[in-house]
Amino acid sequence: MLDIKLIEQNPGEYKDFLKRRKGDPAEIDSLLEKSKRRRDLIAKTEELKAKQNSVSKEIPNLKKQGKNTDELMAQMTAIKEEIKQMEVQQNSAQEAVDHILLRLPNKLHSSVPTGTSEADNKIVRTVGEKRTYSFKPMAHDDIGTKLNVLDFERAAKITGSRFCFLRKEAALLERALQNFMLDLHTQKHGYEECLPPLMANQASFQGTGQFPKFTEDVFHIEGMGYHLIPTAEVPVTNFYAGEILDEAQLPQKMTAFTPCFRSEAGSHGRDTKGLIRQHQFNKVEMVQFVHPDKSYEAHEELTLHAEEVLKQLELHYEVAILCSGDIGFGAAKCHDINVWLPGQNAFREISSCSNFEDFQARRANIRFRPNGGGKPQFVHTLNGSGLAVGRTLIAIFENYQQEDGSIHIPKVLQKYTNGLSLIKANK
């Protein structure tokens, strides 16, 4: 959530960034109008309370003098009722301000390029080389179906579209990937592993910015007030919600493997085949809570941690800075990591690494107490996929496929697959 005081000090700056994000600058005018009404009501309420205080002091003095206080008592009753009504209006005005604030996206870092779509994203580096083949590479779903390790038809029979059974070596490889990623992040990159709830309440979703703007993207559990998490970002970021850390405790780095659940409400007709866009998928998430002065240094570090997974798997990829028209709602800056898929002859996103600055911390009220005392400040939060496990499996299927339909397993994973080095064709 944005700081209303900063918006009031420089509304033009916020209108400009909203334009860059393809938003409506008139939202700022509406916000300022509602904020002024809220401030006016607060001022009137304070005036009434001051008057109430003055009258309350006058009454005992008159009583001591033996004078009649009926008129002042009636005045006190009227003031009390007026204050009550003012406070109702004040709460309503605050709700109107919050309604807009909760729907305004984060401001953008100065290094974010201006653009309208992913075509305007800026590629900052490309790592590795495309593999060459003496045959036409197949898509992962065709490979997996022929190997009898991906079963979309039976999953559709049980639930519907955008689900899959991973069988035999595919299930083993998925498990190997998640263990490899967690070991890398905990043993080499210094993250604390956690296993969070797969459901979260509305306040948690609001804290990370999914609610109220993106409620349709989430599966809701009727009658309970809980929602299935679309990413471990939701529960892990809210781990410190409402708390004040000591500066000495920063940074905090946490990683979690979870299934993720997404309705894909806005993806009708997109990626209907294969594992690219599923209602349920597995992901390893990295979350950091850092000092505001160090968040962009941490953002680069976080991105490198995600890249390291692909480097060890020897997969070709690119890193892009998302432009103003493609960046996510809550991010001040975002790096997308796109892995090369020869079966699609295209790069596809496998990780998004975002710096939210204090946007999420302000919503979730996560603060730290500076060394030497002083007023608590909001931390900066960051998160990134490290990686999306299913999409990493896709990348291995397509990049490590052989002409006979078999799949080599990357060497770094073989200690997690009980030494299995090849998913053989014609089993």
Contact 393, 275 (CB under 8 A): yes
Contact 52, 79 (CB under 8 A): yes
Is 262 a catalytic site residue? yes
Catalytic residue among 263, 314, 349, 406: 349
Is 277 a catalytic site residue? yes
Contact residues for 315 (Cβ-Cβ < 8 A; gap 6+): 128, 339, 340, 395, 396, 399
Judged on CB neighbours under 10 Å (0-12, 13-18, 19+), 89 is middle
* Residue 206: HSE in the Cβ half-sphere, 13 Å Cα cutoff: 14
Question: Measured between alpha carbons, how far apart are the two ends of the chain, in Å?
Answer: 54
SS3 427: coil
Nearest Cα to Cα of residue 278 among 219, 360, 320:
219
Is 103 a catalytic site residue? no
Scan for tokens 């005045």, then name that residue: 75
Catalytic residue among 169, 285, 391, 398: 391
Torsion of CA 53, 57, 62, 64, to 10 degrees: 160
Catalytic residue among 131, 277, 348, 369: 277
Strand order, beta sheet including 317-321: 122-127, 317-321, 333-341, 346-355, 380-388, 280-290, 252-261, 192-194
Distance in angstroms (rounded) separating the CA atoms of residues 271 and 140: 13
Catalytic residue among 20, 38, 162, 262: 262
Distance in angstroms (rounded) separating the CA atoms of residues 28 and 26: 5
Is 193 a catalytic site residue? no
Catalytic residue among 35, 295, 324, 352: 352
Beta bridge partner(s), residue 289:
252, 381
Is 348 a catalytic site residue? no
* Residues noted as catalytic: 262, 277, 349, 352, 391
